[in-house]
Chains A and B, each alone.
Chain A
Amino acid sequence: MSLCVIGNSHVGMLRAAAQSGWRGPPLVYFAKAGGGIERARVRGSVIIADDPDLVAAQRRYGLPTEIDVADCEAVIFVAGTASLFNAAQVLQSHRLSDPVGPGGGGSAGAELAERDPRQLLSQAAFVDALADRARAGYSHRFATALRRATGVPMFLVPQPFPGEAVLDAPPPHGPLFRRLRASGEGAAVVAPLALALERAFAGIEGLHLLLQPEDTVAHGFLTARAFTRDAVRVNGATPQHGGDFLHVGAVFGSRVLDRVATVLNG
């Protein structure tokens, strides 16, 4: 039996890992880079590509245009949920008001807070906003729909945090993420983001949320360079372009597959 991997360009890390000495079950992919995977359809326990772009993408790599996940040992959803980018987007217009958080009003200092034009936002509202984002993504939709038809174990691998290289990126990302690092807000959103994901997927029985391991994180909210150096495209073989700060590679992917195997074997 195989592991069915459903997702966008971030699927590349698992493909790369599978191609670098993975000894577990074979992986079958249902993936498309750059958007389009969300247009897949679910009928019963079968996920179907009937969008022409998605069909073309699957065929380009010799992949099936439909997969019955009930025949798989597990399904791994990759990305397609709330990400640190969503959290960062919120922090452009809003600021967390919880004074205990690193980005909160207390630690930022009252004077600084007075000058900050952003609207205050409670932790609870922040978490719920991110949970709504998570529910709106394709992973939640597909997992919910497939769970109605099958009890196959499910894993969710959220999009990795942006790579450290984002700090050197041109505007808008570079300045934004440098600001998030300097203010401590970047690190402060990791826990609410994790809570939002847990909350959004809590109702899907048998779904394991594989949050990003702490030892892969730099500056409290970015993916350490060691895991982005080998970043690959969706095919798992072609390296990402030099300016990429979104993707990781086989080293990170292997960590994910090992955790999947641990759960399945446990």
Chain B
Amino acid sequence: MPYSDLPPQAFWKLCRTDPEFLTTAIYRPKFPLAPGMRVATAGSCFAQNVGRYIRASELDFVDAEPAPPGMGQDTQTRFGYGLYSARYGNVYTARQLRQLVEDAWSGTVHDAAVWSNGGRYYDGLRPNVEPGGLASAGEVRAQRRDHLRRVRRMFAQTDVFIFTLGLTEAWADRESGLVFPTAPGVVAGRFDPARHHFVNFGMAETFEDLAAALAILRAARPGLRVILTVSPVPLTATASGDHVLVATTYSKSVLRAVAGELAALDPATDYFPSYEIIAGLPFGTRHYQDNLRNVTRAGVDAAMGVFFAAHSGLRPVPHPVPLKVCDCAPSDVATEEQTEVCEEAMLAAFDAA
């Protein structure tokens, strides 16, 4: 019988007998991680948690754009330092990753991504990394060129790239086809309906974008290993016209399926089920805060605990320092507020209330 030799975790009923739903067996890495391996991260805001754990581990977190000496943690976070392996901000969609990689390899700086507001200029492809903007369009271009050079260098020294897929929805520039991490006007820039339009990527596009990005990276770095994850954070808002729950289900389904398919096709690409560990039905809402959107620290701990436990060559990682550091008392720091930098969450400001 085909099912007779399967392990307990293959059966829902047997998983149900375990309070943790046998998550100890939910992740079997395709390739082992060992101390000193150079790991780079990118993705949606949930990926910032992954980066914190990697930093705290025996792995070597690649930081291609370190903060200047003396800059405090809060300031680093505000300027996008240390959140990921370079200052690209949140890379929510596979198309954004593809754009980033293509631009890094071609050295392309897009005029359509230079936004202005009140005399200040922003990089529309990462509007959050300079919260007050820059002095001129020329400075934005210079910063972007420098950034792209460092992104390319980052991948050249990376052994393992962990990418967390977050969304399928994005806003794009009609003429150039560029997609942005957030709608123009939310963080910076101005929304122009004649110029900007909504896109919701499907399976084929998402697969193609991710595969194209990885192909460029592999051509430059043949031994690069990739770990894909899907953010368990629901959409803050959808512009698809659907109910936000329907839109979230669609988005996460596409991303989960693409990640799974790519991992199935490529021996050097793995899938880590952080989505299942946090959002999975057996766990109800236990890993979410009261808004049913932000993941609790315990939820992040649960997912990353599984990750490091599965890599037997690595020591477990104690809970790393949260991103947000303030002068308040320790008891205040321990609140379950959102600690990630997330442009997408800013869409909540546009709700009907």
Contact = CB atoms under 8 A, between A and B. Distances in A.
Nearest to B79: A125
Contacts of A97: 134, 139, 142-143, 146
B71 A124 contact: no
Given A124-B132, A126-B68, A132 B75 contact: yes
Interface string B116-135: 00000000000000111011
A119 B147 CA distance: 8
A129 B130 contact: no
Contacts of A36: none
A86 B70 contact: yes
A125 B130 CA distance: 8
B223 interface: no
Interface string B42-75: 0000000000000000000000011111111001
Contact of B134 (A89, A122, A133): A122
B54 to A, nearest CB: 21
Nearest to A132: B72
A130 B72 CA distance: 9
A121 interface: yes
Nearest to B146: A120
A130 B68 CA distance: 9
Contacts of A99: 135-136, 138-139, 142
A104 B142 CA distance: 10
Contacts of B69: 86, 89-90, 93, 129
Contact of B68 (A90, A98, A105): A90
Contacts of A131: 75
Contacts of B78: 128
A102 to B, nearest CB: 14
Contact of A123 (B67, B72, B135): B135
B150 interface: yes
A119 B150 contact: yes
Interface string A139-152: 00000000000000
Q: What is the predominant secondary structure among interface residues of chain A facing chain B?
A: helix
A211 interface: no
B139 A129 contact: no
A44 B2 CA distance: 76
B70 A98 contact: no
A122 B66 contact: no
A106 B143 contact: no
Contact of B70 (A100, A123, A124, A133): A133
Categorize the interface residue count of chain B. 20 to 34
A129 B67 contact: yes
Given A97-B143, A129-B67, A122 B130 contact: yes
B12 to A, nearest CB: 51
A204 to B, nearest CB: 14
B320 to A, nearest CB: 21
Contacts of B79: 122, 124-125, 128
Contact of B71 (A105, A106, A129): A129
Contact of A90 (B70, B130, B136, B147): B70
Interface in A68-104: 82, 86, 89-90, 93-94, 97-100, 104
Contacts of B138: 99, 105-106
Contacts of A122: 79, 130, 134, 139, 143
B5 to A, nearest CB: 55
Q: Which of A121, A126, A128: most chain B Cβ within 10 A? A: A128
Interface string A183-207: 0000000000000000000000000
Contacts of A106: 138
Given A99-B135, A99-B138, A106-B138, A120 B143 contact: yes
A129 B68 CA distance: 7
Contacts of A10: none
Q: Which of A90, A120, A135: most chain B Cβ within 10 A? A: A120
A131 to B, nearest CB: 8
A86 B147 CA distance: 24
A135 B72 contact: yes
14 contacts: A86-B69, A89-B69, A89-B70, A90-B68, A93-B66, A97-B134, A97-B146, A105-B139, A120-B142, A121-B68, A122-B139, A128-B78, A129-B67, A133-B70
Interface of B: 65-72, 75, 78-79, 130-132, 134-136, 138-139, 142-143, 146-147, 150
Given A100-B135, A129-B68, 8 more contacts: A93-B68, A97-B143, A98-B135, A105-B138, A105-B142, A122-B79, A124-B132, A131-B75
Q: 9 closest Cβ contacts across the A-B interface?
A: A132-B72, A129-B71, A133-B70, A120-B146, A90-B68, A105-B142, A129-B68, A128-B75, A125-B79
